């Protein structure tokens, strides 16, 4: 970057940035500390605090728009870490990029909080749930509002903690407890990468502030930038469920559905995209790095589609779909240039339609006695018209039917992929295009099996009911967002984000014309959707049927879990056993021997403590003689 | 005969001591004049108020740097800091001493002179309230300690040593329960203490012979002029040091410590572990830094050997202790070793870090003995280690607090134990005494074992039939515990203010 990055001081309304984080944090503290005393009204406090943050965030966003020139607001609250040369402020930054994230987190967050009031109504742990939920919102806001990488890491770990607590929210279920642990452990791998990346920044740049790091990227060697970028990418891949750290995200669906919607679809899992977009000066500076990011994105988006097409659990299909859609975003941020903004637009649009569909899935489960197997749904359109309609909007949006939001956000990414140079244009372009077709296929399968075709319900269900208004109102609002947000954002967001992400590149000419790509992508979408419609409009078997090699592989998550088990888990277990053996025989032997020696000498010395004053006096006298003797010996030596 | 000239007296500088001695005398009058049932409340308030007043006087005198009453007393940075520390720790000890809700009548016997086991003794064991004479005795002891750390000549120091020791001998005998053990402890302490005092006094005589005076500055001048009898100097230094090493419980002059700590009433043990240690090290610091700095190369190896021996004896013997009070006694011996490491740094950091250590350790040890007073059954305190098994289940709060204090003793970060050990070891390395630090670290590792064994016992064992209950502390003990634990935490998390204070104070006047 030729221009240097500079942030303006926060003034006026913007000097209250810290309130955005503090309000939900205070609410979380109240809910978790007051305990049962807050059971009756706690959930409303939870909703109100996020809504208050939204209102505040919106007014800040508007006043940021009103600023002339440098549209940024930086605020340093206090010295956070001061050790030697390392100086980290507890500093916040409200700029166009963090602004849109604040609106997404608090806006969609408010709706999902509201929905959760209804969804969690019969759960005895509702107050605890809202406490964790508020904690998540506070940590996520800190993540996007920090003005340096340490603050980002602080929020990053905070959302990890909240995610762990919420995945294992029903901790009495072994599967939920295991899923929480799995998410935590896999995230550690990514977090370690991010942490080492931050260490590297401090070692090479001497600071972790965004502006200082970005302004010094030009001075770093290309190898350093590559290593730094790969470490950041590892962190991003861990948090966002990208290859090779994708396995935790589908298991995270063990948490309550609002959690899946807010944390594991709309906001937290997109933190990796935020990290790369925020660090765009680093990633833009190295082409190999960009190639790696695009490859990870493309590979993950195809994996997600293929696995999603073979799953029967409604939330897991949506989860793999999330993995795949974030793959699109990674492709976007990997392409660089104008595609950064496209990735952010897709992120925002995805936040709406995926939250919408998760909440819709929750609504279906609510009516169907917590059934999650789409083979046991069918024909729900008649019983749940609002859920059907809103889910339908989300479905059309994600597969990219114009004029819904997915079309405006995904299609440009496919087009950008074709704009690369040489054979990579074909490789990534075709992958993105194939992904669009597969997405249409598995989402249509999900939609048709759930809401259309014959009833395949379990015996205990007679008349599924529509969810109460407190759950359907957020659904309707999110559906409106899914439908309309795309065209709105595609027209204003790139310009808005230009100061952070760089100007949009001029008309690039790819290997295919733009119109061709548009026609192609709509064609594959319709093809995939039509194929699924044909295959599943008459329902499907109530149980999983034997299938060919590809479907079996997809059902087993393309053997990635088996791979992890064989390559990491098993050797890890053997290593642990070997270490335990070594520890028992070698180290413990030495330590125990030493301990026995000390214990034995202690026991012998103890006998000298006879309790008789005469022997005490004797030992004092001996000591005195020794001390005086030692002094005199030294003095005699002095004379000699 | 020349005219008798009265020395200049700076009353402001002496005010803290005057307040304590005055209040102690008033306390004795109260003992004589007032009816027994009203004395306790009045004596306790008098003791607390006078300690607070003395503390205020120390704070008011904070800028005084002077030598007064004809060179007998030096009021300087270390004096004022240590006096402040003594008064604060003494205040907390007084809270423990004044507690009466744990046991009917308090931890002290009504009339210590009654023969143990006689009819009269059985009657008084019932519910006769403890004798309030313990408060004036405490004030005398505290006053003696204030003088001890301020004494600028060896004779004043000897007088202060006796003033602080005699009340402590008495108070050791005042336990309400296990009276024979208590009296035995008092007698042992008295006999061995007198023995050590004799060494001290003989040393003073030899040094007078060497230097021709007893003022510390005179000794200093004599030490730096070469043509004097070195035998007198070294023998005198050795004997004076022995007297102080005894009070500070350094090996091989530590033998009294476990017996006395175990036998004395627990609040008095707390007072001795916290305040006597401050006083003894205050005097040791002054003598070594002010008078004998010129021969540092000669006494450093000898006292270094004593420090190593002390740390080893304390740590190794702590491993096999089965009584909580004896365990804490050996821990206190090992800590005396660490303090001596700081003293032997013989630089400004050594002085500052030793003073920091004294305060930090004092608060922790007060809290530890405070908790010991709470764990009791029908026979009084249950101090055998096996009785503490499973305490974590019965009373998570107090087991948690005790665990925290033990972690502080073990020197775990975020506790004052870590900061203070770090400070003294750092100063010792700077002072070229790396070998002492190596032994310090090794023995710290050894000591972690007995501490953690207690933690494991409290939390991982099932409570047995014989696990005593933990009494609900009264307001006084609660206050003492809170102060001790909060100070241990605060000095571990934000030690900077106290470190700055010790650095500012670390300058003797000569």
If pLDDT is split at 50, 70 and 90, which confidence band does A638 have?
Answer: low
Residues of A in contact with B248 (CB under 8 A): none
Rounded Cα distance, B491 and B493, in Å? 6
Segment B297-324 shows an average pLDDT of 92
Among A298, A143, A323, A292, residue whose Cα is nearest residue A230: A292
Contact yes or no for A620 and B259 at CB 8 A: no
Rounded Cα distance, B425 and A579, in Å? 34
If pLDDT is split at 50, 70 and 90, which confidence band does A192 have?
Answer: very high
**For residues A383 and A367, is the Cβ–Cβ distance under 8 A?**
yes
Per-residue confidence (pLDDT) for residue A509, from 0 to 100: 60
Contact yes or no for A635 and B299 at CB 8 A: no
Residue B113: exposure state from Cβ atoms within 10 A (0-12, 13-18, ≥19): exposed
Rounded Cα distance, A69 and B136, in Å? 76
Q: Which residues on chain A place their C-beta less than 8 Å from a C-beta of chain B?
A: 595, 598-599, 601-603, 605-606, 609, 611, 613, 616-617, 619-620, 622-624, 626-628, 630-632, 634-635, 638-639
**For residues B380 and B177, is the Cβ–Cβ distance under 8 A?**
yes
Number of domains into which chain A is organized:
1
Contact yes or no for A638 and B298 at CB 8 A: yes
Give me A437's structure tokens.
Answer: 């077709």
Residue A91, SS3 per DSSP: strand
Per-residue confidence (pLDDT) for residue B2, from 0 to 100: 62
Rounded Cα distance, B337 and B492, in Å? 21
If pLDDT is split at 50, 70 and 90, which confidence band does B122 have?
Answer: confident
Write out pLDDT tens, residues A362-373: 888 888 888 888
Per-residue confidence (pLDDT) for residue A640, from 0 to 100: 44
Sign of the CA dihedral with A497 first, then A498, A499, and A500 last:
positive
Q: What percent of chain A has pLDDT over 70?
A: 97
If pLDDT is split at 50, 70 and 90, which confidence band does A504 have?
Answer: low
What are the C-alpha distances in Å from A102 to residues A15, A54, A143?
15, 8, 10
Residues of A in contact with B318 (CB under 8 A): 602
Write out pLDDT tens, residues A508-563: 566 677 788 888 888 999 999 899 888 888 877 777 777 777 878 878 888 888 88
Per-residue confidence (pLDDT) for residue A503, from 0 to 100: 64
Residue B359, SS3 per DSSP: helix
Residue B337 vs residue A475, higher pLDDT: B337
Q: What angle do CA A389, A395, A398 make, to 5 degrees?
A: 145
The per-residue pLDDT of chain B, averaged, comes to: 91
Write out pLDDT tens, residues A260-269: 888 888 888 8
- B184 to chain A, minimum CA–CA distance in Å? 10
With respect to residue A200, please indicate whether it lies within any of the assigned structural domains: no
Q: Which residues, in sequence order, are CB contacts of B148 under 8 Å at separation 6+?
A: B157, B160, B161, B163, B164, B279, B280, B282, B283
Residues of A in contact with B317 (CB under 8 A): 602, 605-606, 609
Per-residue confidence (pLDDT) for residue A26, from 0 to 100: 92
Reported as type and span, the H/E element at residue B103 is none
State the residue for tokens 């295009």: A433
State the residue for tokens 């920044």: A201
With respect to residue A60, please indicate whether it lies within any of the assigned structural domains: no
Residues of A in contact with B187 (CB under 8 A): 613
**For residues B151 and B286, is the Cβ–Cβ distance under 8 A?**
yes
Chain-centre distance for alpha carbon A490: 24
Max Cα–Cα distance, chain B, nearest Å: 79
Q: Which residues, in sequence order, are CB contacts of A258 under 8 Å at separation 6+?
A: A112, A113, A115, A116, A119, A120, A133, A358, A359, A362
- Asked whether the predicted pLDDT for residue B1 surpasses 70, the reply is no
Residue B331: exposure state from Cβ atoms within 10 A (0-12, 13-18, ≥19): buried
Segment A280-303 shows an average pLDDT of 90
**For residues A249 and A205, is the Cβ–Cβ distance under 8 A?**
no
Give me A496's structure tokens.
Answer: 């808005």
- B135 to chain A, minimum CA–CA distance in Å? 29
Rounded Cα distance, A259 and A137, in Å? 11
Rounded Cα distance, A521 and A401, in Å? 10
- A592 to chain B, minimum CA–CA distance in Å? 12
**Residue A610: domain span:** 564-639
- Asked whether the predicted pLDDT for residue A454 surpasses 50, the reply is yes
Write out pLDDT tens, residues A590-618: 888 888 888 888 888 888 788 888 999 99
Residue A61 vs residue B468, higher pLDDT: A61
- Asked whether the predicted pLDDT for residue A2 surpasses 50, the reply is no
Measured between CB atoms, which of A602, A609, A628 is closest to B239?
A628
Least confident of A139-153, B77-91, B97-111: B97-111
Segment A611-628 shows an average pLDDT of 90
Per-residue confidence (pLDDT) for residue A149, from 0 to 100: 92
- Asked whether the predicted pLDDT for residue A622 surpasses 60, the reply is yes
If pLDDT is split at 50, 70 and 90, which confidence band does B131 have?
Answer: confident
Residues of A in contact with B234 (CB under 8 A): 628, 631-632, 634-635
Mutant choice from B320, B445, B494 vs A, greatest count of A C-beta within 10 A? B320
Among A213, A238, A250, A240, residue whose Cα is nearest residue A228: A213
Segment B245-265 shows an average pLDDT of 93
> Counting one residue from A and one from B, how many pairs have CB atoms under 8 Å apart?
88
Write out pLDDT tens, residues A355-364: 899 889 988 8
- A470 to chain B, minimum CA–CA distance in Å? 43
Mutant choice from B197, B206, B234, B305 vs A, greatest count of A C-beta within 10 A? B234
How many helices (H) and strands (E) chain B has is answered by 21, 5
Q: What percent of chain B has pLDDT over 90?
A: 71
Residues of B in contact with A625 (CB under 8 A): none
Q: What percent of chain B has pLDDT over 70?
A: 99
Among A329, A227, A316, residue whose Cα is nearest residue A271: A329
What are the C-alpha distances in Å from B467 to residues A121, A637, B470?
45, 59, 9
With respect to residue A598, please indicate whether it lies within any of the assigned structural domains: yes
What are the C-alpha distances in Å from B343 to residues B220, B299, B304, B353?
18, 12, 10, 9
With respect to residue A168, please indicate whether it lies within any of the assigned structural domains: no
Write out pLDDT tens, residues A404-422: 888 888 888 888 888 887 7
Least confident of A78-87, A150-159, A396-405, B97-106: A78-87
Q: Which long-range contacts (C-beta less than 8 Å, at least 24 apart) are formed by A114-118?
A: A114/A47, A114/A470, A114/A473, A114/A474, A115/A258, A115/A261, A115/A359, A115/A362, A115/A470, A115/A471, A115/A474, A115/A475, A116/A43, A116/A256, A116/A258, A117/A43, A117/A44, A117/A47, A117/A470, A118/A467, A118/A468, A118/A470, A118/A471
Rounded Cα distance, B446 and B149, in Å? 32
Write out pLDDT tens, residues A473-500: 888 988 988 887 777 777 788 778 888 8
Per-residue confidence (pLDDT) for residue A639, from 0 to 100: 45
Minimum CA–CA partner of B303 in chain A: A627
With respect to residue A491, please indicate whether it lies within any of the assigned structural domains: no
Per-residue confidence (pLDDT) for residue A505, from 0 to 100: 52
Write out pLDDT tens, residues B150-196: 999 999 999 999 999 999 999 999 998 888 999 999 999 999 999 99
Contact yes or no for B191 and A617 at CB 8 A: yes
Give me A454's structure tokens.
Answer: 């014959």
If pLDDT is split at 50, 70 and 90, which confidence band does A1 have?
Answer: very low
Rounded Cα distance, A161 and A431, in Å? 34
Interhelix angle B296-319/A588-606, rounded to 10 degrees, is: 100
**For residues A205 and A213, is the Cβ–Cβ distance under 8 A?**
yes
Rounded Cα distance, A263 and A272, in Å? 13
Residue A336, SS3 per DSSP: coil
Give me A20's structure tokens.
Answer: 């955005």
Reported as type and span, the H/E element at residue A74 is strand A73-83
Chain-centre distance for alpha carbon A505: 29
Sign of the CA dihedral with B390 first, then B394, B396, and B401 last:
negative
If pLDDT is split at 50, 70 and 90, which confidence band does A140 have?
Answer: very high
**For residues A53 and A22, is the Cβ–Cβ distance under 8 A?**
no
Residue A294: exposure state from Cβ atoms within 10 A (0-12, 13-18, ≥19): buried
Minimum CA–CA partner of B315 in chain A: A602
């Amino acid at each position: 970057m030729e221009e240097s990055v500079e942030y303006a001081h926060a003034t006026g309304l913007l000097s209250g940035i810290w309130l955005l984080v503090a309000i939900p944090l205070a609410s979380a503290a109240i809910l978790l500390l007051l305990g049962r005393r807050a059971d009756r009204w706690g959930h409303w406090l939870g909703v109100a605090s996020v809504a208050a943050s939204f209102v505040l965030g919106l007014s800040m966003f508007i006043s940021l728009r009103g600023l002339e020139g440098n549209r940024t607001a930086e605020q340093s609250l206090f010295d956070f870490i001061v050790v030697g040369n390392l100086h980290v402020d507890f500093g916040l930054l409200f700029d166009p990029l963090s602004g849109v994230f604040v609106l997404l987190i608090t806006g969609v967050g408010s709706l999902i909080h509201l929905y959760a009031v209804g969804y969690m109504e019969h759960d005895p742990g509702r107050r605890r749930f809202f406490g964790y939920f508020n904690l998540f919102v506070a940590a996520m806001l800190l993540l996007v509002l920090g003005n340096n990488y340490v603050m980002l890491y602080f929020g990053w770990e905070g959302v990890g903690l909240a995610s762990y607590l919420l995945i294992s929210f029903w901790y009495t279920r072994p599967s939920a407890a295991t899923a929480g642990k799995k998410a935590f452990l896999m995230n550690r791998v990514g977090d370690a990468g991010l942490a080492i990346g931050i260490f590297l920044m401090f070692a090479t740049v001497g600071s972790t502030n965004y502006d200082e790091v970005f302004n010094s990227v030009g001075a770093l060697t290309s190898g350093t930038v590559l290593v730094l970028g790969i470490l950041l990418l590892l962190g991003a891949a861990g948090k966002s469920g990208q290859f090779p750290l994708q396995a935790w995200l589908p298991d995270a669906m063990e948490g309550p559905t609002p959690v899946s919607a807010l944390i594991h679809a709309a906001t937290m899992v997109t933190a990796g995209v935020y990290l790369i977009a925020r660090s765009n000066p680093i990633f833009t500076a190295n082409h190999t790095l960009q190639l790696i990011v695009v490859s990870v994105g493309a590979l993950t988006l195809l994996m997600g589609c293929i696995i999603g097409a073979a799953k029967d659990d409604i939330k897991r299909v949506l989860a793999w779909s999330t993995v795949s859609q974030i793959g699109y975003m990674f492709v976007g941020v990997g392409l660089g240039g104008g595609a950064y903004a496209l990735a952010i637009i897709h992120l925002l649009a995805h936040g709406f339609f995926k939250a919408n569909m998760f909440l819709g899935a929750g609504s279906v489960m609510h009516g169907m006695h917590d059934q999650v197997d789409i083979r046991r749904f069918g024909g729900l359109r008649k019983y749940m018209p609002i859920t059907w309609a809103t889910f339908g909007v989300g479905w059309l949006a994600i597969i990219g039917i114009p004029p819904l939001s997915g079309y405006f956000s995904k299609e440009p990414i496919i087009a950008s992929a074709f704009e690369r140079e040489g054979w990579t244009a074909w490789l990534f372009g075709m992958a993105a295009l194939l992904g669009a077709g597969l997405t249409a296929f598995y989402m249509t399968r999900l939609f048709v099996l759930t809401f259309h075709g014959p009833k395949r319900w379990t015996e205990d269900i007679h008349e599924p009911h529509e969810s109460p208004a407190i759950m359907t109102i957020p659904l309707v609002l999110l559906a409106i967002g899914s439908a309309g947000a795309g065209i709105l954002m595609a027209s204003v967001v790139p310009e808005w984000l230009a100061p952070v992400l760089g100007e949009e590149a001029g008309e690039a000419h790819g290997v295919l014309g733009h119109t061709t790509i548009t026609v192609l992508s709509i064609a594959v979408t319709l093809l995939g959707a039509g194929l699924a419609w044909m295959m599943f409009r008459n329902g499907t078997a109530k149980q999983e049927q034997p299938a060919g090699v590809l479907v079996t592989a997809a059902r087993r998550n393309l053997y990635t879990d088996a791979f992890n088990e064989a390559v990491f888990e098993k050797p890890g277990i053997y290593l642990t056993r070997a270490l335990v053996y070594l520890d028992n025989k070698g180290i413990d032997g030495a330590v125990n021997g030493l301990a026995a020696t000390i214990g034995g000498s202690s026991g012998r010395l103890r006998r000298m403590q006879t309790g008789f004053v005469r022997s005490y006096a004797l030992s004092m006298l001996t000591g005195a003689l020794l001390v005086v003797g030692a002094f005199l010996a030294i003095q005699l030596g002095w004379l000699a | 005969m020349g005219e008798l000239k009265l020395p200049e007296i700076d009353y402001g500088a002496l005010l803290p001591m005057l307040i304590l001695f005055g209040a102690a005398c008033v306390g004795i009058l109260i003992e004589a004049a007032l009816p027994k049932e009203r004395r306790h409340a009045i004596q306790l308030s008098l003791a607390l108020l006078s300690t607070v007043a003395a503390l205020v006087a120390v704070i008011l005198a904070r800028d005084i740097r002077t030598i007064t009453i004809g060179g007998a007393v030096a009021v300087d940075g270390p004096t004022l800091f240590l006096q402040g520390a003594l008064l604060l720790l003494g205040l907390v000890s007084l809270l423990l001493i004044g507690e009466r809700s744990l046991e009917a009548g308090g931890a002290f016997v009504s009339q210590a002179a009654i023969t143990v086991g006689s009819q009269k003794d059985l009657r008084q064991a019932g519910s006769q309230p403890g004798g309030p004479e313990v408060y004036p005795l405490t004030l005398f002891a505290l006053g003696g300690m204030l003088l001890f750390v301020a004494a600028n000549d060896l004779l004043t120091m000897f007088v202060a040593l006796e003033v602080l020791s005699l009340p402590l001998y008495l108070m050791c005998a005042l336990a309400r329960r296990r009276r024979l053990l208590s009296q035995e402890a008092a007698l042992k302490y008295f006999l061995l203490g007198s023995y050590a005092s004799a060494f001290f006094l003989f040393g003073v005589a030899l040094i007078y012979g060497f230097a021709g005076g007893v003022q510390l500055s005179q000794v200093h001048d004599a030490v730096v002029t070469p043509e004097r009898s070195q035998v007198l100097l070294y023998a005198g230094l050795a004997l004076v040091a022995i007297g102080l090493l005894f009070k500070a419980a350094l090996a091989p002059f530590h033998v009294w410590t476990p017996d006395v700590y175990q036998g004395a009433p627990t609040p008095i043990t707390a007072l001795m572990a916290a305040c006597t240690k401050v006083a003894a090290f205050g005097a040791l610091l002054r003598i070594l830094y002010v008078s004998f700095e010129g021969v540092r190369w000669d006494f450093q190896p000898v006292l270094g050997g004593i420090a190593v021996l002390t740390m080893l004896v304390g740590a190794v013997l702590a491993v096999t202790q089965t009584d909580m009070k004896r365990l804490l006694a050996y821990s206190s011996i090992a800590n005396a070793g660490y303090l001596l490491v700081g003293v032997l740094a013989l630089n400004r950091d050594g002085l500052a870090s030793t003073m920091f250590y004294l305060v930090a350790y004092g608060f922790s040890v007060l809290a530890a003995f405070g908790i010991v007073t709470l764990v009791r059954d029908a026979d009084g305190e249950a101090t055998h280690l096996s009785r503490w098994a499973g305490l974590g289940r019965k009373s998570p709060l107090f087991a948690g607090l005790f665990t925290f204090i033990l972690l502080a003793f073990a020197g775990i970060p975020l506790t004052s134990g870590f900061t203070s050990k770090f400070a003294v070891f750092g100063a010792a390395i700077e002072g070229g005494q790396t070998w002492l630090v190596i032994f310090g670290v090794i023995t710290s590792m050894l000591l972690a074992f007995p501490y953690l064994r207690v933690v494991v016992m409290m939390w991982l064992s099932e409570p047995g039939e014989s696990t005593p209950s933990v009494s609900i502390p009264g307001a006084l003990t609660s206050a003492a515990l809170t102060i001790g634990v909060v100070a241990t935490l605060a000095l571990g998390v934000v030690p900077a203010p106290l470190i700055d204070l010790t650095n500012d104070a670390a300058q003797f006047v000569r």
